[in-house]
Chain A
């Protein structure tokens, strides 16, 4: 029997980069096949090509032995390929059934939707593949894992037999991951073929039948999941020794840099953060663990000055800054590495030296009361480029011309060279390659040793455990646990993050 998918010599070039360079991939029918690789290794591009979102420059694709060329996802769906994106595309205010049939509604004729037929079809699909879901539930009431199941059913409903899952575990806590894997095994047992992207190697080893590793756009290995270890896989991915986020001995001092008391922050009229108290000392990295959307964003907003603070106080070095605006806070020494560098971090069409000045334009060497000091700003940018290894031909290119890792190094550089006394770092290594990640970790450790207080938010639990001096867990806008990174595992953290484990918290933020 012909393999479900056969890719041969796929090459895709973007201006300045070869995203896929002669990639070969064979996925047998009825197997779970993992694609591993660092960020930027070309996994997403490959999946987009397979799903018809992008056309390859060279190479051939065969689905079930038949040569195909897709000009849009519609062609891919026709051939039985469905994709579940990392970010769900569901309408909150519609039911599961309505979401699933959206865009593929069976009608009575005359445009009236035949809900009976739709429901029957959905139920038969769900039963065939052993997926449990309440079809009349509103999507907004569903947990993340359930939403993902809806997305999977959505593609199955459209007749897909080959599923592409783009980093399906990235948004899930460990317990939900297990449920997903259970579903994936059910799907396989019922004849589906699954291709999934992941870079958490223990997960790959647990679920995959075979594994393909990409590095710098090339296939470096394609092997069955037999006897291979996580360490071997990691070395294939990176091609060299692995960096670790672990910090050296503690540098925590007795001086409190940031003290938050009983803080309540609203978002769109509802309390997204309620009665949170915490403090960060000089030389301490305080890690915040939590499933995204549990109030971390609002905590960051409140500290940098864009949050809607309803109650409580924020003190920086003993000074009450609760009512200060962003500029006053930044001048007082708060550095900020935003969660999404394109959204809040950079002026993409501006030259690098202007980007370096952003957020510090009121202070030397970038500017003064009235004027921008172009020469000073440029000199400082050169210094950042040097010290933080920002790879760029010069400092006059626009920020968009840089790779994600270099953009991030520029942001980390501009914040750390401004001598902050508090750094708010949200996902500082998200979406950057291992080399840049190690550099960012080094810089953060160095700054910590120099007495910087850091608030670290990260979805990467290894990073959180490795870098932090203290970890607190946020759940539904509250702090629910305070843990020591020395004796906590990602699994334990996951239990606290979902509320499966509980710890009594006193109001000052320390565990009882």
Chain B
């Protein structure tokens, strides 16, 4: 009971605080806060908006899991951004060159994306273990190398053959056959709901994200690797004395994180069908925020991914209705993150004290009970 109260106090507190601050912010900017909230929530009730939110939440969640794997062992993989973009490009190129039966084709693309992400992240891991390069610095550099150099160059190298007269829609890698694209799952959704309109399609990668979440939970809590990973994060010295090989863990965690990051590329690939000249950027950084808000917890990150996706989609809504400026959604993402970090910090301190106190109380009660018996028998 107490435990549930503790785990709920922080997010509820953060939420209330966020609403208060956002209301003040909206009010200062001259918008009617309640009208804005009304618009955001009103749209979120529509099935089509919900599909949008889920489509957005899927890469957010994968990105958050990728970041969380590193965070759990105090490894800050800031390079999810570069890892998924590289993985996206390589998987698109490989997928575009081969044609295979559908399941196999999708599987190959996913594996290629994961391997690419893992290898690219692995560079930072190897640099850290062999040369002592801090992973924050190296992953940031690797992001710059990926986005500014490698991708720009490979995009040109891997440009699909262009016809005489071409438009911008011809730019990009070879389009992948339908057999290689993760199908949408509107059919699955419509079992529970009405037909989805406005040509909205729910990405099939949502199912993969769910599997990744379950896998992350099992890995962390049931496997030896997960135990070693968490132990290394909590106390690397105790972990090492307990037989956890520190270097191997760093490289393994980095690569696993990169592999999950690679899957973000597959989400985008399913949507775009090739590596376009204007791939979406920023999902990797958003994942860090989502992981932070979700406390690296497989369930917690589901909520935070949905919240971030909701705010993201709402910014579009506000833009059309004109009730408030669209940036307010980004501001709210920032505020919720900040309040959450503070609230979790306070909650964990309170919990720690409470635990020490209850433990001591239980023992004191024990001790006095036993002295009483001694007294009685004497």
A327 contacts B244, C-beta separation under 8 Å: yes
With a cutoff of 8 Å between Cβ atoms, the chain B residues found around residue A348 in the complex are 234-235
With a cutoff of 8 Å between Cβ atoms, the chain A residues found around residue B238 in the complex are 338, 343-347, 358
Q: Which of A191-225 contact B (CB under 8 A)?
A: none
A372 contacts B237, C-beta separation under 8 Å: no
Segment with Cβ contacts to B, from A125-133, A166-174, A389-397, A444-452: A389-397
When the two chains form the complex, which single residue of B237, B245, B352, B357 contacts A327, counting CB atoms closer than 8 Å? B245
Beta-carbon nearest neighbor of B364 in chain A? A16
User: Cα distance A343–B241 when bound, in Å?
Assistant: 10
Of the candidates B226, B234, B245, B366, the one having the most CB atoms from chain A within 10 angstroms of its own CB is: B234
When the two chains form the complex, which single residue of A331, A336, A361, A401 contacts B355, counting CB atoms closer than 8 Å? A401
B227 contacts A361, C-beta separation under 8 Å: yes
User: Cα distance A391–B367 when bound, in Å?
Assistant: 10
With a cutoff of 8 Å between Cβ atoms, the chain A residues found around residue B354 in the complex are 15
Interface mask (A342-356 → B, CB under 8 Å = 1, otherwise 0): 011111111000100
When the two chains form the complex, which single residue of A17, A361, A371, A401 contacts B228, counting CB atoms closer than 8 Å? A361
A347 contacts B231, C-beta separation under 8 Å: yes
Chain B CB within 8 A of A275 CB: no
From residue A363, how far is it (CB to closest CB) to chain B in Å?
10
Chain B CB within 8 A of A49 CB: no
From residue A216, how far is it (CB to closest CB) to chain B in Å?
11
From residue B337, how far is it (CB to closest CB) to chain A in Å?
22
A16 contacts B366, C-beta separation under 8 Å: no
User: Cα distance A397–B363 when bound, in Å?
Assistant: 13
Chain B CB within 8 A of A287 CB: no
User: Cα distance A336–B239 when bound, in Å?
Assistant: 12
Interface mask (A332-343 → B, CB under 8 Å = 1, otherwise 0): 000010100001
When the two chains form the complex, which single residue of A330, A371, A398 contacts B242, counting CB atoms closer than 8 Å? A330
When the two chains form the complex, which single residue of B224, B352, B363 contacts A398, counting CB atoms closer than 8 Å? B352
Interface mask (B227-255 → A, CB under 8 Å = 1, otherwise 0): 11011001101111111110000000000
With a cutoff of 8 Å between Cβ atoms, the chain A residues found around residue B352 in the complex are 398, 400-401
Chain A CB within 8 A of B223 CB: yes
Given contacts A361-B224, A372-B223, A338 and B241 within 8 Å (CB-CB): yes
Chain B CB within 8 A of A245 CB: no
Q: Which of B252-267 contact A (CB under 8 A)?
A: none
Chain A CB within 8 A of B378 CB: no
From residue B214, how far is it (CB to closest CB) to chain A in Å?
15
From residue A415, how far is it (CB to closest CB) to chain B in Å?
11
Interface residues on chain B, number (Cβ under 8 Å): 34
From residue B217, how far is it (CB to closest CB) to chain A in Å?
13
B241 contacts A306, C-beta separation under 8 Å: yes
With a cutoff of 8 Å between Cβ atoms, the chain A residues found around residue B234 in the complex are 347-350
From residue A423, how far is it (CB to closest CB) to chain B in Å?
14
A16 contacts B222, C-beta separation under 8 Å: no
From residue B131, how far is it (CB to closest CB) to chain A in Å?
17
A367 contacts B237, C-beta separation under 8 Å: no
Given contacts A327-B244, A346-B235, A347-B235, A400 and B362 within 8 Å (CB-CB): no
When the two chains form the complex, which single residue of A338, A358, A393 contacts B362, counting CB atoms closer than 8 Å? A393
Chain B CB within 8 A of A494 CB: no
User: Cα distance A336–B238 when bound, in Å?
Assistant: 11
With a cutoff of 8 Å between Cβ atoms, the chain B residues found around residue A401 in the complex are 352, 355-356, 358-360
B359 contacts A16, C-beta separation under 8 Å: yes
User: Cα distance A327–B232 when bound, in Å?
Assistant: 14
Chain A CB within 8 A of B45 CB: no
Given contacts A346-B235, A401-B355, A391 and B223 within 8 Å (CB-CB): no
A393 contacts B237, C-beta separation under 8 Å: no
Beta-carbon nearest neighbor of A330 in chain B? B243
Chain B CB within 8 A of A374 CB: yes
User: Cα distance A347–B231 when bound, in Å?
Assistant: 7
A15 contacts B363, C-beta separation under 8 Å: no
User: Cα distance A360–B237 when bound, in Å?
Assistant: 15
A326 contacts B241, C-beta separation under 8 Å: yes
User: Cα distance A325–B249 when bound, in Å?
Assistant: 14
B366 contacts A391, C-beta separation under 8 Å: yes
From residue A370, how far is it (CB to closest CB) to chain B in Å?
6
Chain B CB within 8 A of A402 CB: yes
With a cutoff of 8 Å between Cβ atoms, the chain A residues found around residue B327 in the complex are none
With a cutoff of 8 Å between Cβ atoms, the chain A residues found around residue B359 in the complex are 16, 392-393, 397, 401-402
B222 contacts A372, C-beta separation under 8 Å: yes
B223 contacts A370, C-beta separation under 8 Å: yes
Chain B CB within 8 A of A357 CB: yes
Chain A CB within 8 A of B353 CB: yes
Chain B CB within 8 A of A510 CB: no
From residue A5, how far is it (CB to closest CB) to chain B in Å?
30
With a cutoff of 8 Å between Cβ atoms, the chain A residues found around residue B35 in the complex are none
With a cutoff of 8 Å between Cβ atoms, the chain B residues found around residue A362 in the complex are 224, 243
Given contacts A354-B227, A370-B224, A325 and B355 within 8 Å (CB-CB): no
Chain A CB within 8 A of B32 CB: no
Chain A CB within 8 A of B195 CB: no
B237 contacts A343, C-beta separation under 8 Å: yes
From residue B318, how far is it (CB to closest CB) to chain A in Å?
41
With a cutoff of 8 Å between Cβ atoms, the chain B residues found around residue A368 in the complex are 224
User: Cα distance A343–B362 when bound, in Å?
Assistant: 27
B241 contacts A336, C-beta separation under 8 Å: yes
Q: Which of B24-82 contact A (CB under 8 A)?
A: none
Beta-carbon nearest neighbor of B241 in chain A? A344
From residue B123, how far is it (CB to closest CB) to chain A in Å?
24
B242 contacts A359, C-beta separation under 8 Å: yes
With a cutoff of 8 Å between Cβ atoms, the chain B residues found around residue A459 in the complex are none
User: Cα distance A397–B361 when bound, in Å?
Assistant: 13
User: Cα distance A57–B222 when bound, in Å?
Assistant: 45
From residue A234, how far is it (CB to closest CB) to chain B in Å?
22
Chain B CB within 8 A of A304 CB: yes
Given contacts A347-B231, A358-B239, A359-B242, A392 and B363 within 8 Å (CB-CB): yes
B227 contacts A367, C-beta separation under 8 Å: yes
Of the candidates B230, B237, B242, B360, the one having the most CB atoms from chain A within 10 angstroms of its own CB is: B242
From residue B246, how far is it (CB to closest CB) to chain A in Å?
9
With a cutoff of 8 Å between Cβ atoms, the chain B residues found around residue A400 in the complex are 352, 355-356
With a cutoff of 8 Å between Cβ atoms, the chain A residues found around residue B227 in the complex are 354, 357, 361, 367, 372
User: Cα distance A306–B239 when bound, in Å?
Assistant: 12
Interface mask (A300-333 → B, CB under 8 Å = 1, otherwise 0): 0000101000000000000000000111011100
A371 contacts B223, C-beta separation under 8 Å: yes
User: Cα distance A347–B230 when bound, in Å?
Assistant: 9
With a cutoff of 8 Å between Cβ atoms, the chain A residues found around residue B356 in the complex are 15-16, 400-401
A326 contacts B222, C-beta separation under 8 Å: no
Of the candidates B235, B238, B353, B356, the one having the most CB atoms from chain A within 10 angstroms of its own CB is: B238
With a cutoff of 8 Å between Cβ atoms, the chain A residues found around residue B355 in the complex are 397-398, 400-401
Given contacts A362-B224, A372-B227, A306 and B240 within 8 Å (CB-CB): yes
Given contacts A346-B238, A348-B235, A392-B363, A359 and B353 within 8 Å (CB-CB): no
With a cutoff of 8 Å between Cβ atoms, the chain B residues found around residue A367 in the complex are 224, 227
From residue A323, how far is it (CB to closest CB) to chain B in Å?
14
B363 contacts A372, C-beta separation under 8 Å: no
A393 contacts B363, C-beta separation under 8 Å: yes
Beta-carbon nearest neighbor of A301 in chain B? B241
User: Cα distance A442–B358 when bound, in Å?
Assistant: 29
User: Cα distance A43–B239 when bound, in Å?
Assistant: 33
With a cutoff of 8 Å between Cβ atoms, the chain B residues found around residue A338 in the complex are 238, 241
With a cutoff of 8 Å between Cβ atoms, the chain A residues found around residue B239 in the complex are 347, 358
With a cutoff of 8 Å between Cβ atoms, the chain A residues found around residue B363 in the complex are 391-393
With a cutoff of 8 Å between Cβ atoms, the chain A residues found around residue B224 in the complex are 361-362, 367-372
Q: Could you jot down 6 A-B contacts, CB within 8 Å?
A: A306-B240, A326-B240, A347-B235, A370-B224, A371-B222, A397-B358
Q: A349-B234, A397-B358 are in contact. List 8 more A-B contacts (CB 8 A).
A: A15-B360, A325-B243, A338-B238, A360-B242, A361-B227, A393-B363, A401-B360, A402-B359
Rank and list the top 7 A-B pairs by shortest CB-CB distance, nearest first.
A16-B360, A327-B243, A359-B242, A393-B362, A401-B359, A358-B242, A16-B357
